[in-house]
């Protein structure tokens, strides 16, 4: 296969690609709004028909307890070739506030190289480049089938919490058997700084209640002689970090997969403007966190404990001189590769029990099991192969990022027992979840090219 | 004067004393309810008429910006004799919940030795024993005037915050010139453990606001890399006490008048049941506070810092993984003899400013100027004289207490520049401010006897 042919094919297909995508984007598949349930179903139907037209031998609608997903499979010619699941979603975010849209959200329009409309970047556009990529690869190489078995899994409930997704994966675990999972639902650093995400942080949450007296007490009659639950809460939560900004739970860092020197060096090469970042961080006036790490390392690759809410005693206007009966706090932990949400929950419960003063009762509730972190090392075969594919498409070095947030992607790695590879061409400026969402069409075409190279690279790397 | 005559006179007057008091108690002088303003005025009028009948040469209604006070003066024969102001109030608390009263609150009834009704203990009954005491002293001694000049000041707004009281004192400062102020608006330890209060704690309040980012931030995207105002609040407030339960504000204890060995020894002789006290403290499970002090010392004679309320971030149901934009706390300090509310406020403001981390802005609001502490040492001439008077009346040793709460009594000491002497016969079980308020009639009569002795003792002690 000659690269020029591949790129040439993709360029030649551009207009048809955009026209087809616009047709799909026009379907308002808002999964969070029950009034749009039929539209999500119409979006799935449209995709099924489209994938069949593209030549996928197997295309199915997969029902869930809620809205449908679409599954399509294009087997490799070689039955021993690796299999890869490509994950994305065809549902979209709501569009409110509608008055802030400069164009109708479900009437996608081109403005120069930009395609504007709900779902252009998150995530229909990014699913779509895979369909173009696979056709381009076949056309340019003269093959009848891709060099790896490609299994497309396009969820319909991602924007409403993926509530049935883990069940769906477990139900179809055999059909989804694979050697790697490609996620195309994130971003790269910048249009001129292509990058790949290598992991997402996990999450676990806890709510702490400290109880003292059975009723609020007069602080004149009792203050200074009985424990104050708010004071106990302040002492407890202050002790959750040490002076170096490290979380003090025993063993909290024991399982953490450390950053490698290479990854730190590659992070450091990202053109990061901390002042600009602080502006996006609600005009925060100082970067602050775990000692010995940069801001990017802190938000991407280091675990945290964060107080999300705290309350107790008199919170209304004026003064009320009481010793309050109880104090409450909501805490969340962001976890990184190697950490187990359940283990952190248990560790936190034990720590709280050990740290409350006499006369204060502590209760720790941990709603849900949390979200597992996911991570694929930069020198793992899948990531290295995807990096080569991206570099061939973009013609420049590809750097690495991670995602500080947490998502259902970890379920994919867990249930399918396969490494994740993040290949995406969205930008942070794409205004996903916001009015005037857009995507850069040239980046979608680069994505198609990278996807085409990816199947070749993975055929070798994962064998 | 023979003691038997004094006590005999008081016993002989018992029924008339109770009948007169009941007449006054029947006037619903609830100062906190504007609908009862006329009743407060009627109460003042009734008292004016009564005091004239008792023989006070000067009796006046003193108007304020709100409800009237009553002033009465009985000059000593000797123009060089000391002058004493007696403070009390003729207004009462509201009576809700009415359905919990076993008798009508303003239809006072006798049940054996008890007199039941609103105001019996707080404070009409306690003012009233002074009128009987002065008459008994004159009758038993054959004098035409008391041995000190007695100036009765009976406020009408105590139960609604004494809002005009300091102004009233300043307006009439010359008329109120005195060598001591007797407060008859508190309690003694128990019917069989007569005691005198020697001081009340002061109070100052502050509200702290810590501000970080301009908006709540996604804890995945920003958590661990920017300051969290709730975290900063926990660290700040945890640092307000050291491991020994001492307040860490620089110089906080510098001005504190320390407890004397004698006062500690006398406190220790009060029959104090800590388990029982913990039950009244909302079933608190542990006494806890400044190291090196007993529970009574902590609540009466040591200053405190108490967190009364704290809030910030997500406080509703479910989780919300944010770095919150701000955090809030309400703090109050109870102060003891020697401490200045304004100085503590300034010290706290400076301390907060020094202790917030970079990137967090702190604002400290200090509503009002606070309440000054008041204190008269047990070996001061006035207190020692009053103790002798109480001991003569009760025929047993009189111990000492203090009051952990704060009140306008400090204004009396400040504006009139005179020491306070607390002579009162209420009990903690009198249910003041609650349904079924009562007073023990024998204690009111003992109060009258103590008051009679008091004028003789003070005539010598204060000269």
* 3-state SS, one letter per residue, for B271-333: CCCHHHHHHHCCCCCCCCCCCCCCHHHHHHHCCEEEEEEEEEECCCCCCCCEECCEEEEEEEE
Beta-strand runs (E) in B13-62: 58-62
Residue ranges of B 102-141 with Cβ closer than 8 A to chain A: none
* Alpha-carbon Rg for chain B in angstroms: 25
Percent of chain A with pLDDT over 90: 90
Q: Is pLDDT above 60 for B2?
A: no
pLDDT at position B161, please?
A: 85
CB atoms within 10 A of CB A302: 26
Across A32-36, A72-76, A314-318, A375-379, least confident range? A314-318
Percent of chain B with pLDDT over 90: 90
**pLDDT tens-digit series, residues B277-312:** 999 999 998 899 999 999 999 999 999 999 999 999
The answer to whether B234 contacts A231, with C-beta atoms less than 8 Å apart, is no
Check residues B410 and B245 and name the one with the higher pLDDT. B245
- Alpha-carbon gap, residue A386 to A182, rounded angstroms: 9
The answer to whether B309 contacts A307, with C-beta atoms less than 8 Å apart, is no
Give the mean pLDDT of chain B.
95
**pLDDT tens-digit series, residues A77-132:** 999 999 999 999 999 999 988 999 999 999 999 999 999 999 999 999 999 999 99
CA neighbours closer than 13 Å in the CB half-sphere of residue A212:
30
Question: Best-predicted range by mean pLDDT among A155-164, A406-415, B406-415?
Answer: A155-164
Check CB contact of A187 with chain B, cutoff 8 Å. Answer: no
Question: Best-predicted range by mean pLDDT among A4-8, A218-222, B153-157?
Answer: B153-157
Predicted confidence band at B4 (pLDDT cuts at 50, 70, 90)? low
Which residues fall within 8 angstroms of residue B301, CB to CB, at 6 or more apart?
B199, B259, B263, B267, B293, B336, B337, B402
Q: Are A398 and A194 in contact (CB under 8 A)?
A: yes
Structure-derived torsion over alpha carbons of residues B7, B8, B11, B15, reported in degrees to the nearest 10? -130
- Alpha-carbon gap, residue B183 to B30, rounded angstroms: 21
Q: What is the CATH number that goes with domain A6-200+374-462?
A: 3.40.630.10
Q: Are B10 and B445 in contact (CB under 8 A)?
A: yes
**pLDDT tens-digit series, residues A152-211:** 999 999 998 889 999 999 999 999 999 999 999 989 999 999 999 999 999 999 999 999
Predicted confidence band at A4 (pLDDT cuts at 50, 70, 90)? low
- Alpha-carbon gap, residue B286 to B278, rounded angstroms: 7
Min distance A356 CA to chain B CA atoms (Å): 12
DSSP string for B163-183 = TTHHHHHHHTTTTT--SEEEE
pLDDT at position B56, please?
A: 97
Which residues fall within 8 angstroms of residue A354, CB to CB, at 6 or more apart?
none
- The pTM (predicted TM-score) of the whole model is 0.90
Which residues fall within 8 angstroms of residue B449, CB to CB, at 6 or more apart?
B6, B7, B10, B133, B136, B392, B393
DSSP string for B350-392 = HHHHHHSPTT-EEEEE--S--B--EE--TTSHHHHHHHHHHHH
Predicted confidence band at A415 (pLDDT cuts at 50, 70, 90)? very high
Predicted confidence band at A411 (pLDDT cuts at 50, 70, 90)? confident
Burial B171-190 (b: 16+ CB within 10 A, else e): ebeeebebbbbbbbbbbbbe
Q: Is pLDDT above 50 for A1?
A: no
Mean pLDDT of B82-106: 95
pLDDT at position A317, please?
A: 87
Q: Is pLDDT above 70 for B3?
A: no
Mean pLDDT of B246-251: 98
Residue ranges of A 221-240 with Cβ closer than 8 A to chain B: 221-228, 230-231, 233-240
Structure-derived torsion over alpha carbons of residues A10, A11, A16, A22, reported in degrees to the nearest 10? 90
User: For residue B335, what are the CA distances in angstroms to A207, B186, B251, B377, B409?
Assistant: 35, 19, 13, 16, 14
The answer to whether B281 contacts A227, with C-beta atoms less than 8 Å apart, is no
pLDDT at position A31, please?
A: 95
Q: How far apart are the first and last CA of chain A?
A: 20
**pLDDT tens-digit series, residues B421-442:** 999 999 989 999 999 999 999 9
Instruction: List CB contacts (< 8 A) between B244 and chain A.
Output: none
Q: Are A324 and A312 in contact (CB under 8 A)?
A: yes
Mean pLDDT of A408-432: 92
User: B85: closest CA among B411, B400, B327?
Assistant: B411
The SS3 assignment for A37 reads helix
- Alpha-carbon gap, residue A220 to B404, rounded angstroms: 5
The helix or strand, by DSSP H or E, that contains position A323, with its residue range, turns out to be: strand A322-323
* Alpha-carbon Rg for chain A in angstroms: 25
User: A370: closest CA among A348, A344, A396?
Assistant: A344
pLDDT at position A407, please?
A: 79
Q: Please, where are the H alpha helices in A398-440?
A: 409-416
Q: Is pLDDT above 70 for A2?
A: no
The answer to whether A230 contacts B290, with C-beta atoms less than 8 Å apart, is no
The SS3 assignment for A279 reads helix
Q: Is pLDDT above 80 for A408?
A: no
Q: Is pLDDT above 90 for B410?
A: no
Q: Are B407 and B183 in contact (CB under 8 A)?
A: no
Residue ranges of A 321-350 with Cβ closer than 8 A to chain B: 321-325, 327-330, 332, 334
Nearest to B281 among A217, A231, A332 (CB): A217
Instruction: List CB contacts (< 8 A) between A282 and chain B.
Output: 212-217, 222, 226, 325
**pLDDT tens-digit series, residues B38-54:** 999 999 999 999 999 99
Mean pLDDT of B137-142: 93
Structure-derived torsion over alpha carbons of residues A224, A226, A231, A233, reported in degrees to the nearest 10? 170
Each domain of chain B, given as residue ranges in start order, spans 6-200+374-462, 202-256+303-365
Angle at Cα B235 formed by Cα B234 and Cα B239, nearest 5°? 115
Check CB contact of B314 with chain A, cutoff 8 Å. Answer: yes
- Alpha-carbon gap, residue A262 to A80, rounded angstroms: 33
Instruction: List CB contacts (< 8 A) between A241 and chain B.
Output: 231
pLDDT at position B1, please?
A: 44
User: For residue B46, what are the CA distances in angstroms to A276, B65, B125?
Assistant: 75, 20, 14
B202-256+303-365 is classed CATH 3.20.20.70: no
Mean pLDDT of B237-248: 97
- Alpha-carbon gap, residue A324 to A160, rounded angstroms: 39
pLDDT at position A406, please?
A: 86
The helix or strand, by DSSP H or E, that contains position B136, with its residue range, turns out to be: helix B124-141
pLDDT at position A428, please?
A: 87
The SS3 assignment for B125 reads helix
- Alpha-carbon gap, residue B21 to B444, rounded angstroms: 11
What are the residues facing B116 on neighbouring strands? B109, B438
- Alpha-carbon gap, residue A454 to A148, rounded angstroms: 9
Mean pLDDT of B390-396: 97
Predicted confidence band at B104 (pLDDT cuts at 50, 70, 90)? very high
The SS3 assignment for B95 reads coil
Check CB contact of A355 with chain B, cutoff 8 Å. Answer: no
Query: How many residues are recorded in chain A?
Result: 463
DSSP A43: H
Is the C-alpha dihedral spanning B167, B173, B176, B182 positive or negative? positive
For A191-256, what is the HEC assignment? Answer: CCECEEEEEECEEEEEEEEEECCCCCEEHHHHCCCCCCHHHHHHHHHHCCECCCCCECCCCCCCCC
């Amino acid at each position: 296969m000659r690269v020029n042919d591949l790129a040439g094919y993709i360029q030649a297909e551009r207009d048809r690609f955009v026209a087809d995508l616009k047709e799909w984007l026009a379907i308002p598949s808002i999964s969070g709004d029950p009034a749009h349930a039929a539209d999500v179903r119409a979006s799935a139907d449209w995709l099924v028909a489209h994938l069949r037209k593209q030549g996928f031998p197997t295309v199915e609608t997969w029902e869930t307890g809620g809205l449908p997903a679409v599954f399509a499979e294009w087997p490799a010619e070689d039955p021993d070739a690796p299999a890869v699941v490509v994950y994305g979603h065809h549902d979209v975010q709501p569009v409110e506030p509608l008055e802030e849209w400069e164009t109708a959200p479900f009437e996608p329009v081109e403005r120069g190289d930009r395609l504007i409309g709900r779902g252009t970047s998150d995530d229909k556009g990014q699913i779509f480049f895979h369909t173009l990529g696979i056709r381009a690869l076949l056309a340019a190489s003269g093959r009848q089938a891709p060099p790896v078995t490609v299994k497309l899994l396009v969820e319909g409930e991602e924007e409403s919490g993926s509530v049935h997704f883990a069940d769906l994966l477990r139900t179809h675990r055999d059909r989804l058997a694979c050697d790697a999972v490609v996620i195309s639902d994130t971003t790269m650093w910048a249009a001129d700084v292509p990058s790949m995400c290598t992991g997402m942080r996990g999450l676990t949450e806890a709510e702490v209640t400290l109880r003292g007296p059975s009723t609020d007490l007069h602080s004149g009659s009792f203050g200074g002689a009985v424990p104050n639950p708010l004071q106990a809460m302040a002492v407890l939560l202050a002790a959750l970090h040490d002076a170096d900004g490290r979380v003090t739970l025993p063993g909290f860092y024991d399982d953490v997969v450390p950053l490698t020197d290479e990854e730190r060096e590659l992070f450091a090469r990202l053109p990061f403007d901390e002042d600009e970042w602080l502006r996006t961080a609600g005009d925060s006036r100082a970067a602050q966190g775990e000692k010995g790490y940069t801001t990017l390392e802190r938000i991407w690759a280091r675990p945290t404990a964060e107080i999300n809410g705290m309350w107790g005693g008199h919170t209304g206007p004026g003064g009320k001189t009481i010793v309050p009966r109880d104090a409450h706090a909501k805490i969340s932990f962001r976890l990184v590769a190697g950490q187990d949400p359940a283990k952190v929950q248990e560790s936190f419960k034990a720590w709280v029990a050990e740290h409350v003063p006499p006369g204060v009762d502590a209760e720790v509730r941990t709603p849900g099991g949390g979200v597992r972190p996911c991570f694929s090392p930069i020198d793992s075969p899948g990531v290295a192969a995807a990096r080569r594919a991206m570099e061939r498409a973009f013609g420049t070095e590809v750097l690495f990022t991670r995602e500080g947030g947490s998502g259902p992607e970890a379920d994919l790695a867990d249930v399918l027992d396969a490494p994740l590879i993040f290949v995406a061409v969205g930008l942070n400026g794409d205004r996903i979840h916001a009015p005037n969402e857009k995507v850069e069409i040239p980046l979608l075409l680069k994505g198609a090219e990278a996807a085409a190279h990816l199947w070749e690279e993975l055929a070798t790397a994962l064998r």
